[in-house]
Structures are given as structure tokens and as C-alpha cells.
Amino acid sequence: MAVGPSSRRQPNEEASTALGLTLLIALAFVVFSWAAAGFSSPYNLYALTRTAALNVLLGLAMMVVIATGGLDLSIGAIGIASAMFAGYLMQDFRLHMMIAIVAALCFGGALGFCNGFVVVFARVHSFIVTLASMSIIFGAMIVLTKAESVRDLPPAFLALGKIRWFGYLSPMLMVSVAIGALIAIMLRWTDLGREILASGANSRAATLSGVRVGNRIITVHALSGILAAIAGIMLSIRNGAMVPSMAGNLGQEWLLPAFLAPVLGGTLLSGGRAWVVTTVLAAFLVTELTNGMLLMSIGEFWVQFALGSVLLLAVLLEKGRSTLMGTVEGV
Amino acid sequence: MKGSKAFSTIIGALFAVVGMSTAALADPSTRIGIVAPGPHPYFTQWESAGQQAAKDFNIGVVDYRVPNKWELAAHNALLESMASQNYNAFLIFPGDPVATRPTVADLVGMGAPVISLAGCLQDPSDASFCFATDNTVAAYEAAKLLIKEMGGKGKIVHFAGFLTDPNTKVRIDAIARAVAETNGAVTVVDNITDLDVPEAAQDKINAFLATQGSNIDGIITTAWIPSVVAATALRKIGDKRIKMIGLDNDDLLMAAITDGYVSGTVVENAFAQAYVGSFAVDKLHTGCTLRSDAPWKNANRSAKLMDSGTVYVTAANLDTYHDIQKEKAKELLTSFKSNYLKCP
């Protein structure tokens, strides 16, 4: 099944983007190791990989929705609400950790499903729907929990946050990379993945080809909710508690890294193209840049300024490249 | 062949850079990080107190750092970055009583002693101890002072911080205990909570004073923002009949004391916290331990609390209370050395 005009040259483009990001990661590593004291210390590498694990998941959660031409502004609210849900199951109902985590993933998936359902059946852009659901979900969570953290968690859950491999590697990053691999397989080698990309590339053509576009939009929102829930659980493991404000007010602190990873990774904002490997690499690069700038004592506001600028630049470059390629193809 | 040689050269260069940067960090002296959870006027004394401690106790480095926003993730990231930069002793106001514990455990695991400063971690934690104001004592003493200002009779309203903050409940109970000792001569009309946000504080305090101001004789505030808002409100309505005892030392509150709208304020000893705390954490880093028979208090969620005390500031000592804080800091230092610390 064709998934858009760029599908044939996709492997080469993806490989070249991946190579570019890898070189940037290596360059940033050398520069920060030289300029930022402590950057290459085992503890910092551990902290960096732990944060990267979270950013990879956020990037993937946004990427799958962007693949259909949509957006999900509510991933922060869904992630934190799901984590709080797991916390209450463990604290108040004394459920086993694994049951609580699975329930939280289902909860996140259900919230995402609701987003997708409204997008499809109300025919409203996902930007508006998820903007509203972000406030609704976060507000409801604050009302129900009275903004109180969940702090009485089982020791087995807390022990997960202390695992460190080789002194410098967080196993959470491996979990995120494994999830990324599954999504890559799904997008490239399954009918479901191809239908998702086809829905984003040209929804009318996809419909005529027999793809149930509405179902696929609901699917990616549910998947995004599940990924956000995993991110929320990971952050809770890192904190040893579920704190309502751990992703900022309304979960907004997650939005910038969530957008940066797929956009820098070459995912088309108009839909139809989603590259998992480059999204993972871009998430790692963003984490590395943030960490390095923090170690260099560059003010937090400047870090935000730099990341916002990178996002805008990436969007403009992609736009320019698309225009150029279109011109060349036209010729 | 050529490719593998280039690859090994790049890897070699990377390890060389890593080695150089790690070697540059090998500094055996104490490097203390005093870390606040976010910007707040309360912490302004910590930087100068830390510098004073570095000079007086010959400590290698004492740096005060604060994230640009009051947010747990930013606080944790700052602590992680400081640990990576070879800071080896910490005074930390927890971003969250529980969610800061894993980061503290990481720091202690790396050999850096941690004292929680001005706010306690919830037990059990890896912090050596908590050095903070005993909230129960501070609220009780503030209530007693207010009752005295009111002539031992009348009605009180209590403006407090977030009800979700466990300290708020503790303060409400402490005020109730002080009031109970008057055998009914003084009553608490209301405990109005969740006033740690300027907008909410403005709305609730102004509405209360507009509707019930004539019905009360005293105001006690146990958080920074309601102290400022209540003092400003009394100045605006020009009321000097209502007696008020505030908390801490915002400029607006101090001006209201000067002008007679507020009777006084209970100021926590932020100077002593950073000054004595720096001494303590330096000693813990250089081999001293805590005495097993140290007279810890069990309060503020911690069984190992050392009370940093308060200073009652009125118009009479407004200009000299910083000196009083420093005198009290010296007393706390002497007490810490003799009652809490054991050095080889």
C-alpha cells in the first residue's frame, strides 16, 4: 500500500536523518564533556539516561498522533492522571504493583480513546479536543485527589527507581527503546501501521482504499494515552511518589519535549510519515542539550528559549525542504 | 580497515575528554550546595549566611542555588547536576517531602551528607537530620503573643497556607491549644486555609475583613502570602484596633509593623539555618557523626528535628532583629557542637 508521495525514498531519508542526529549527539557529548564539568560523570550519565527514557516516550506518544495529522496536547494530563490512578490502587486498595500499572495503562488508553472518539465523531480538530481534555482531565484529577500526593507505595515499586546498570545507565531507557522498537515494527510491517500512515498521508485516498480512517485516529489516540501513562509511571518510579504537579500545571511541562522529538526526528506535521528511530535519537539529543546547558549553569529560561528556537527552526527547515523537493519533483 | 581505525580514534578521543573532565573534578575539600526548591524571598538570607559560614569555618565552597521555577522536576534536575559537579554535601529544602527522598538517597549513596533545611523530608529518609523551625512551637508562641496583645480576651481569625500541607493542620492545632489555655476568654472564629496563592489570599482575606472585620479582635497568619495580604488590607482600611501577628519578614509586613498596623511577626531564623547548617554538613562530610543521645524533637514529619527557632519582631527591635538572629545562630552552633555532634 502506498502511503504518500515520499514513501519510496523514505529509508534513505530516514537513514540520513538518523546519521545526522547521531553525529549531533556525539558532537554534543564531546562539547559538553569539555565545557560542562561533571557532564560525563557516571551519575550524570545515569540521570541523563533516566530523563531520556521519559522524553523518548513523550516523543513517541506525540509522534503516533502526528502520524495521522493530529496533535495531542493532553499527554501530560493523561500521564499524570494515570500515574495518580495507579498510586491510589496501590496505596488505598493495596493492589499488587503489576495490576496497578496495567490498570493505569488501560486508564491512559481509555482517556486517549475518548480523545480520539470525540475527534472522529464531532469532526473537531484534535488540537481543540485535546486542549479541552487537558483541562478536564487535570482539573478532575486535582478535584478528586484534593491535590494530595500518593506517598505510601509498596517497597517493590520504590525499588525500581534504584536500579542502575553499570553505574551509569538507567534501565528505563531500555524499556523506552524497546517500546520504540515495537512501534517501529508496527508502523513498518503491519497492516495497522500502514493504515495509520495512510490515514495521515491522505485520508480521502485511504478511505477509498478501504481504510477505516476514523478507527485509526481513535487507535493512535488510545496508543498515545497508553504511552503517556507509561511515562507517568516512570516519573513516579523516579520520584518515589505520585505528585499531581510533577509535570507542571496541566501537565504542560511535557509538551515541549513531546513535540521536539518527533519534529526534529523528521515526522511530518501534516501526517503520513513517522520515523521511530530518529524520534528516539532526537529525544536523546534534546535531553543531552538540556542536561548540558543546565550543567553549564545557563539559566532555565535560556534553556527553554534554546529548545523553543530549535523546534521552530526544525519546522521551518522541514517546510523549506518539502517546498524544495516539491519544486524538484515538479520539474 | 580504515573505517575501524577512524572509529577507534573517535572512541579514544571521547574517553580522553571524559578522563580529563573527571580528573578536573577530583577535589577533596567540602563543596556544599544550599538548594532551595524555587524562588522565594524567604531564602534570600541563605546565600549570605552560607558565604559567612565558608569564611568563618574555612569551608572550601558554599554555593546557594535555586531553580528558576518552583517545580519538583527542576529541583531534582538541579540537585542531579550539582551532584555531577562534585558537590559533596547538601542543605536541601525538599521540593516534596516524599518525592525528593530518592534524589537525597542518590546523593547520600555517593557519599554526600544531606541535611534537610527549613522543611523536613517525611521519615524514613536518608537525610542526616532536619534543621527547621518547629511549626508547632512557632504557631503556639505566635498565638500566645497575639492573646497577650489582645489583653487576654477576644476573637481571633487564623489565615493559613494550603490545607494539603501537613504543617497547616499542625499550626491550627497549636493555635487551638494556646486558645484553650484562656478558658474561653479567647475564641477562634475561623481557620481560613489555602491562602498560599496571592489571588486566593486577596479574595478571601478582603472578603472576610469586609464582612466580619468588626467582629474580630485579632489576626494570626501562619504563612508568608496571607501575612503580606492581611497586613496590606489592615493598612488599606486603616484599622489599628485589630491586633495582628504575622509570619516571616516581607518588606510590606515590616512596614506595617513600623506604622502600627501590625503588632509583630514571628520570623524564622533563615540565617541560622544556612549558617549552622553549613557548619554541620561540613563536619558530617569530614568524618564527624551525630550523637546517639542528641536531643532531637519529633515534629514536622521527622523524628530527627533540630529546631532553628524564631525571633519575635516588633517595632521596638525592627532594626536590630538581624543581629538577634545572628546571636541565636551562635547559640544554636554551640548547642549543636556540644549536644548533637561527635567528632573523632
Q: Which tens digits make up the pLDDT trace of B214-231?
A: 999 999 999 999 999 999
Measured in angstroms, the CA of B222 and the nearest CA of chain A are apart by 20
Q: What is the ipTM of this complex?
A: 0.80
Chains A–B, number of C-beta pairs less than 8 Å apart: 108
**pLDDT (average), residues B36-43:** 86
Residue B10, pLDDT above cutoff 70:
no
The verdict on residue A7 lying in a domain is: no
- The pLDDT score that the predictor gives to residue A328 is 54
Shortest CB distance from A151 goes to which of B69, B73, B122? B122
Candidate from A173-182, B28-37, B330-339 with smallest mean pLDDT: B28-37
pTM over 0.95: no
B251-302 residue pLDDT tens: 999 999 999 999 999 999 999 999 999 999 999 999 999 999 999 999 888 8
In this structure, is residue A4 part of a structural domain? no
Residue A3 counted as domain residue: no
Q: What is the CATH number of the domain that holds A208?
A: 1.10.3470
Question: What per-residue confidence (pLDDT) applies to B1?
Answer: 43
Percent of chain B with pLDDT over 70: 91
**Confidence at residue B117, expressed as pLDDT on a 0 to 100 scale:** 94
Pick the residue from chain A with its C-alpha nearest to B70.
Answer: A248
Q: B135-268: what fold? A: Rossmann fold (3.40.50)
- The number of domains in chain A is 1
Is the CB of A43 less than 8 angstroms away from the CB of B110? yes
- Residues in chain A predicted with pLDDT less than 50, given as ranges, are 1-8, 329-331
B22 touches chain A (CB under 8 A): yes
Residue with the larger pLDDT of the pair B304 and B18: B304
* A90 occurs within a structural domain: yes
- HEC letters along chain A: CCCCCCCCCHHHHHHHHHHHHHHHHHHHHHHHHHHCCCCCCHHHHHHHHHHHHHHHHHHHHHHHHHCCCCCCCCHHHHHHHHHHHHHHHHHCCCCCHHHHHHHHHHHHHHHHHHHHHHHHHHCCCHHHHHHHHHHHHHHHHHHHHCCCCECCCCHHHHHHCCCCECCCECHHHHHHHHHHHHHHHHHHHCHHHHHHHHHHHCHHHHHHCCCCHHHHHHHHHHHHHHHHHHHHHHHHHHHCCECCCCCCHHHHHHHHHHHHHHHHCCCCCCCCCCCHHHHHHHHHHHHHHHHHHHHCCCCHHHHHHHHHHHHHHHHHHHHHHHHHHHHHHHC
- B2-133+270-309+320-342 adopts what CATH topology? Rossmann fold (3.40.50)
Q: State the residue range of the domain holding A156.
A: 12-330
Q: Which residues of A touch B76 (CB under 8 A)?
A: 238-239
Range(s) within chain B of domains with CATH label 3.40.50.2300: 2-133+270-309+320-342, 135-268
Per the CB < 8 Å rule, is A241 touching B98? yes
Average pLDDT over chain B, rounded to whole? 88
Is residue B18 pLDDT above 50, yes or no? no
B26-30, B65-69, B182-186: the lowest-pLDDT one:
B26-30
